[in-house]
Homo-oligomer: A and B are copies of this chain.
Amino acid sequence: MSAVRVHNFSISIDGFATGEGQAADAPFGHAGERLHEWMFATRSWQGEGGSIGADNAFAERHGPGIGAEIMGAGKFGPPNWQDDPDYRGAWGPNPPFHAPVFVLTHRPRPSIEMEGGTTFHFLDASPAEALDRAREAAAGQDVRLGGGPTVVRDFVNADLVDHLHVVQVPLLLGRGVRLWDGLEALEEKYDIEAVSTPSRVTHLTFTRRR
């Protein structure tokens, strides 16, 4: 069966995956771009000139073998994007997904076809139902769970995530949305590895035990 994978999911040392005050011009609120600077520095993100060490090895795993993405309404756009019937997402005309993307929202709308192979589909559905839809679209390839934190937590709690890659960044955000709430005893279901890299981030990988 195709796997469900989370990649490059970045949090502060105090566990926040996004800051407070999310808006169109501040998709991570007061966190700004600081949660992802480690990733922007890699070749996988910036091409020629980017780093090719451990951070890049992790970052590169984002794309290959993925046939569809699932994301939450909070990753698709700023609060209340649903009020604008013409809204096409925070990702520009050619979004970096290049695959069907299933956006979970309690206010679904018709699908939107973008450039570069991304089509946004909107679903009001349980995690398991959404995954069935995404698996079908992925046609045997894996499904990436793109976040945000609320959706990652819900899928982990529904026991649907096979591989979780979290990157802990040396920042204390203090406020925002936490990743880890309500995930007690995750170590009983997953093998956990940790590796710190010279950029000062720590990659945590959770691999579901069979």
Partner of A14, one of B175, B183, B192, B202: B183
Known contacts A180-B14, A180-B15; decide if A172 and B185 are in contact (CB<8 Å): yes
Interface size on A, residues (CB 8 A): 27
Copies in the complex: 2
Say what secondary structure dominates the interface of chain A: loop
A195 within 8 A of B: yes
- Chain B residues with CB under 8 A of A175: 184
Given A194-B196, A195-B196: A174 in contact with B170 (beta carbons within 8 A): no
Structural contact, A194 and B180, CB atoms closer than 8 A: no
Q: A189 → chain B, closest Cβ, in Å?
A: 10
A171 an interface residue at 8 Å Cβ cutoff? yes
The answer to whether B193 and A13 touch across the interface, beta carbons within 8 angstroms, is no
A-B contact pairs, 25 of them (CB 8 A): A13-B180, A13-B186, A13-B192, A14-B180, A15-B15, A168-B194, A168-B202, A170-B192, A170-B194, A171-B187, A172-B180, A172-B184, A172-B187, A173-B184, A174-B183, A174-B184, A174-B185, A175-B184, A192-B200, A193-B200, A194-B201, A194-B202, A196-B196, A196-B202, A202-B202
Give 9 A-B pairs besides A13-B180, A195-B196 with Cβ atoms closer than 8 angstroms: A13-B204, A14-B15, A168-B202, A172-B185, A172-B186, A174-B184, A175-B184, A194-B196, A194-B200
